[in-house]
Chains A and B, each alone.
Chain A
Amino acid sequence: MLEFLTEFPDMSRRDLRDFKLAIDGAFRDFSRANGEAIEGFFDPLLWFLIWLEKLLVATPWPFILIIVAGLAYLGSRSWKLAIGSMLSFALIGYFGMWEDTMSTIALISVATLLCVAIGMPLGIWMAKSDRVQSVITPILDVMQTIPIFVYLLPVLMLLGIGKVPGLIAVCVYAMPPMVRLTNLGIRLVDKDVLEAANAFGANDKQKLFGVQIPLALPNIFAGINQTIMMALAMVVIASMIGVRGLGIPVLQAIQNQYLALGFMNGLAIVGLAIIFDRVSQKYGKRLQEHRGGHDHG
C-alpha cells in the first residue's frame, strides 16, 4: 500500500518503449513515403530564397547601401535613421560580415513574407469566428512555447538539413504574433464605424478592405514588426540546421570560444534588428497620422 503512494503508478517500461517505437516507426514510414513529395512542395520557396540570396550577394555593395538608406528614408521619413542604417551596414561590411548579412536578410525577408502571407488571412479568419479563434489560439500557444528543438525533429526527419527546414523553424516561431495581432486589430475595429459601413450597404469584401483592414493596420503593423524581431532571434538556431548567414559564425564562436567573432556577428544581428524595428515602427506610425487632431477647429 505504501509503495503505491510513493511510486507513481506509471506505464510499464515495455509498454512505454513499444508506444514510443510505434510512433517513431509510423512517422518514419510516413516520411519515407511522403518526404519527397513534401520536399517538392517546398521547392518554389527554396528557389525563391536562393534567388534572393544570390541577388543580394551579387548586387554591388554601394547599391545595397543606397537601397538600404533609400528604404529607411521611405519608411521613416527621417534622414537620421537613413544615414544611421547606411553607416551600420558599412560597418558590418567593413568587419567582414557582408555576405553573411545578405544571407540573413534574404532569410528574414522570405520568412516575414511567408508569415504575413499565411498569418494575416489566418488572423482575419480568427477575427470572424469565435470558434476558429478558440481552436487556433492554443495552437499558437504551442508554437510559441514548445522547445524549438522538439519541433525541429520531425521537420528534420521529413526534409533533412537545409534552408527549408530552417525557414519552417523560423516561421513556426515568428508567425504567432502576426496572427494574434491581426485578429486583435480586426476585433478592435470601432463597432460604430462598422455599423455605418453596413448601413450604407457595404458587402463583406468592402467591409474587410475598406474598413476592417485599414483600421486594424496599426496592430497589423505591430504584428509584422514583432514577426521580424522574432525571425531575427531565430537566426542562430536556424544556422544549426544548415541555414547560412550570421548565425554560422556565432555557432562557431560558441564551439571554439571565439569571443570577438561571437560578439561581432551577434552585434550585426542586433544592428539589423534595430534598423528593421525603427523603420517599420516609424512607418506604422506614419500610417495613422490621421488619428491625431492637429488643427482643431
Chain B
Amino acid sequence: MAKAKIKIKNLYKIFGNKPDQAIALVRQGISKQELLDEHKHVLGLSNINIDIPAKRIHVIMGLSGSGKSTLIRHINRLIEPTDGQVIVDGDDVMEMSSDQLIQFRRFTASMVFQKFALLPHRTVAQNAAYGLTIQGINEREAVERSQRWLERVGLGGFEKHFPAQLSGGMQQRVGLARALATDAEILLMDEAFSALDPLIRNDMQGILLDLQKELHKTIVFITHDLDEALRIGDQISILRDGAVIQDGDPQDIIMRPADDYIADFIKDINRGRVIKVSTLMSKASRVAGPKFESTALLEDVLTVLNQSETESGAVVDDKGKVVGKITMKDAIQAMARPQRAETGTRYK
C-alpha cells in the first residue's frame, strides 16, 4: 500500500453540552443509545483510526447518521474534534493555529459539497476561480487559471452563466472545477454525486476516474451508495454508528464482509460485475484454457469459461505472463453470497 497521506488517529466527536465528560463514558464502552438516553449526548465519531493512502481514492461509506459527513469535516477541521488527531503530511491539523488552518484549507485540501454550495451571485467562471481569489490572486488571473479546469470538466462556453441557470450535474462540475483549480493535493468530496440522478452520477464518476488517472490526487470520497463506493474506491472504510466496522479494498469487502451488517449491505450487489479474477485465482504458472487479464470481471470470465471446453482458465498479467489459474468452480462459488466472515460479530 502507498504511504499514508492522511492518518486519522483515535478520533472522537461527541455532540452535547459537556463532551469532555461524555468521552470518559465512551472510552468505558457505553453504547451510542445509552449515551443519548441517559446523558443526552450524541456520539458522532468513536475511536476512528484510518490511514488514507496518497494518490488514491479512499471511500468512506455509511448510511445516514453513521457519521461520515462529520468525519470528512474533521480532515479540514470544519468541525472540531472532541479528542484525537488528524495528521496530514506529518502535521496534526488539530494543532494548527487559525492562520495555519486557513493556509491548509487554501493550499492543501479543497472540498466538493453534496449541495454544490456555489456562490449564487458569481458567474460560473468566477465560482471556479473562487479558491484562487481567496488565496489572494487577483480576479482576472484567477479566472484565467481556472478556465482550463472548467474546460476539463466539460463546461467550456458556460463561463458567463450563473449557477442558477445550470442543471444539478453542471453545477457540480463547477464545484469540481472550483476544487481542482486550487491545485490542492487533497480533494475532499462529501457525497459529491449523491444529489444527482443516476445517469448524471454515472457520468460524474467517469469524469472523476478520468481526472484521477492524470492528477493522482489524494481523494477522500464520502458516499452512502455501495455501487459508487465499489466503482471508484481504491480503498473503502465502512462506518456505522460513528465507528469504522471494516476497512479494506473493494474485493476484500465483497469477499470477506466483516459482519452481518456489511453482508447485508452487499447482498444486492451484482457480484459478477465487481469481483475481479485476480481476487479468485490460485497461484499457477502453466495453465491450459482461455486467458484472462487480472482485472477481468467475474461476469465475463464465467461467460468465457462456460463456452470453453476446459473447466479452468489462465490469468495473465499486463505483460501476458501467466500468474494464476481460475476454475469454473471457484467462479461459480464466488457468485454466491458469503454468509459472513468467521471472525465477524453479529449485529443487533
Enumerate chain B residues within 8 angstroms of A297, measured Cβ to Cβ: 167
Least distance between B166 CB and chain A CB atoms (Å): 8
- Report yes or no: B130 in contact with A292, Cβ–Cβ below 8 A: no
Assess the A200–B182 pair: CB atoms within 8 A.
yes
Cα of A192 to Cα of B116 in the assembled complex, Å? 8
- Residues of chain B with a CB closer than 8 A to A210's CB: 119, 133-134
Residues of A within 8 A of B101 (CB): 201
A203: interface (CB < 8 Å): yes
Interface SS majority for chain A: helix
Check B106 against A201 for contact (C-beta < 8 Å). yes
Give complex CA distance A193, B78 in Å: 13
B78 and A201 contacting across the interface, CB-CB below 8 Å:
no
Chain A residue with Cβ nearest B108: A201
A201 to chain B, nearest CB (A): 3
Query: Knowing A193-B117, A195-B113 touch, does A201 contact B165 (C-beta < 8 A)?
Result: no
B interface, size bucket: 20 to 34
Q: Are B119 and A211 in contact (CB under 8 A)?
A: yes
At the interface, yes or no: B314 with Cβ under 8 Å from chain A?
no
Would you call A290 an interface residue if the criterion is a C-beta within 8 Å of the partner chain's C-beta atoms?
yes
Contact status B106-A290, CB under 8 Å: no
A193 to B101, CA, bound (A): 19
Indicate if the CB atoms of A200 and B117 lie closer than 8 Å: no
| Residue B105 at the chain A interface, CB threshold 8 Å | yes
Contact in complex: A199, B105 (CB < 8 Å)? yes
A190 vs B163: C-alpha distance when bound (angstroms)? 14
CB distance from B213 to the nearest CB of A (A): 25
Chain A contacts of B312 at CB under 8 A? none
Q: Assess the B165–A200 pair: CB atoms within 8 A.
A: no
A290 touches B121 (CB 8 A): yes
| Closest A residue by C-beta to B163 | A290
Interface pair A193/B118, CB less than 8 Å apart:
yes
Chain A residue nearest to B165 in the complex (CB): A293
Is residue B322 contacting chain A, with contact meaning CB distance below 8 A? no
Q: Which A residue sits closest to B131, measured CB to CB?
A: A200
Chain B residue with minimal CB distance to A295?
A: B165
Interface contact A192-B113, CB-CB below 8 Å: yes
Q: Given the complex, which residues of B lie within 8 Å of A34, measured CB to CB?
A: none
Q: From the candidates A195, A206, A214, A295, name the one contacting B117 in the complex (CB within 8 A).
A: A195
A195-B78, A196-B117 are contacts. A201–B167 as well, Cβ < 8 Å? no
In the bound complex, residues from chain A placing their C-beta under 8 Å from that of B164 are 290-293
Nearest residue, chain A, Cβ from B115: A192
B16 to chain A, nearest CB (A): 19
The closest CB in chain B to the CB of A196 belongs to B117
Quick one: CB contact mask for A253-294 with B, threshold 8 Å, 1 for yes?
000000000000000000000000000000000001011111
Most buried by A among B104, B133, B165, B166: B165
Distance in angstroms from B73 CB to nearest chain A CB is 8
* Given known A199-B76, A293-B165, contact A215–B120 (CB-CB < 8 A): yes
Cα-based distance from A297 to B166 in the complex (angstroms) = 6
In the complex, A296 has a CB within 8 A of chain B: yes
Residue B162 is within 8 A (CB to CB) of chain A in the complex: yes
A198 proximal to B (CB < 8 A): yes
- Distance, CA A211 to CA B134, complexed state (A): 12
| Selected contact of A215 from candidates B121, B135, B167, B178, CB within 8 Å | B121
Tell me whether B165 and A296 are in contact (CB under 8 A).
Answer: yes
Task: Tell whether A148 is near chain B: CB-to-CB under 8 Å.
Answer: no
Determine if B134 and A202 form an interchain contact, defined as CB atoms under 8 angstroms apart. yes
Residues of A within 8 Å of B119, CB to CB, are 193, 196-197, 210-211, 214-215
Question: What is the CA–CA distance of A195 and B135 in the complex, to the nearest angstrom?
Answer: 17
Cβ of A215: which chain B residues have Cβ within 8 Å of it? Answer: 119-121
Q: Are B111 and A199 in contact, CB atoms less than 8 angstroms apart?
A: yes
- A residues less than 8 Å from B115 (CB atoms): 192
Seen from chain B, the residues whose Cβ lies within 8 Å of a Cβ on chain A are: 76, 78, 101-107, 110-111, 113, 115, 117-121, 130-131, 133-135, 162-167, 178, 182, 188
Contacts A199-B113, A200-B182, A291-B164 supplied; 20 other A-B pairs, CB < 8 Å: A193-B117, A193-B118, A195-B113, A196-B118, A198-B78, A200-B106, A200-B178, A201-B106, A201-B107, A217-B121, A288-B121, A290-B120, A290-B121, A290-B164, A291-B120, A291-B162, A293-B164, A295-B165, A296-B167, A297-B167
A-B contact pairs, 28 of them (CB 8 A): A192-B117, A193-B117, A193-B118, A193-B120, A195-B78, A195-B117, A196-B118, A198-B78, A199-B76, A199-B105, A199-B188, A200-B105, A200-B178, A200-B182, A201-B106, A201-B107, A201-B131, A202-B134, A203-B102, A206-B134, A214-B121, A215-B121, A288-B121, A290-B120, A290-B121, A290-B164, A293-B166, A296-B167
